[in-house]
Amino acid sequence: MNLPNLITFSRLLGIPFLLYGLYNPTPQARWVCLSIFLVAALTDWLDGYLARKLNQITDLGKFLDPLVDKLLVLAPLLVLVELQTIPAWGVFVILARELAIAGWRVNQTTITGANIWGKLKTVSQIIAISLLIAPLSTAWKTPSLIAFWVSVVLTLISGVIYLIPSRNQNSL
């Protein structure tokens, strides 16, 4: 296993701590959760950068990276549903898109990288989750929910755009 794949795998180690901390209602625990989440999000960029720079792009990395990304996003969102911070149907939309794209990718001979819409989706999800888990004042409740809904919309848009080229190629 090369360095970029080890970094990708290391993001998984933060998820249990993140989940445990989200159930602790103290501001200190929430700040720790936010830190864990943001470090994991930054390592997502780091592993991709290193894989390209060191010419260590592997099929394992192409498979593992998006899987870990999905777990890192969906795990805190599911806890936030359980804590009644966000509605379940919004998370269901994100989950359905991710499963649809993952299922579609299984049948592809090559795995393509994220386009600009996929990157916008990821950034919007990171911002929304960060706002939702940070122990901010109640004045931030509405902006946090708006960020969540923006991420849901961008998740749908990126999913549709990701699948459009495949429909055009399949009809040829």
CATH code for the domain in which residue 110 is found: 1.20.120.1760
Band (110; pLDDT cuts 50, 70, 90): low
Does any domain span residue 170? no
End-to-end CA distance of the chain: 39
Number of structural domains in the chain: 1
pLDDT confidence of residue 108: 66
The position carrying tokens 């936030």 is: 80
Nearest CA among 112, 119, 114, 122 for reference residue 69: 122
Band (109; pLDDT cuts 50, 70, 90): low
pLDDT tens by residue, 114-170:
678 888 999 999 999 999 999 999 999 999 999 999 999 999 999 888 877 655 444
Q: Say yes or no to pLDDT of 30 above 70.
A: yes
Does any domain span residue 169? no
Band (171; pLDDT cuts 50, 70, 90): very low
What is the domain range of residue 82?
Answer: 3-163
Does any domain span residue 116? yes
> In residues, how long is the chain?
172
List the structure tokens of 57. Answer: 């792009």
Q: Which of 83-97, 104-118, 134-148 is least confident?
A: 104-118
* 39-52 burial code (b ≥16 CB/10 A, e <16): ebbebbebbbebbe
If you average pLDDT over residues 60-87, what whole number do you get? 92
Contact 148, 132 (CB under 8 A): yes
Structure pTM? 0.87
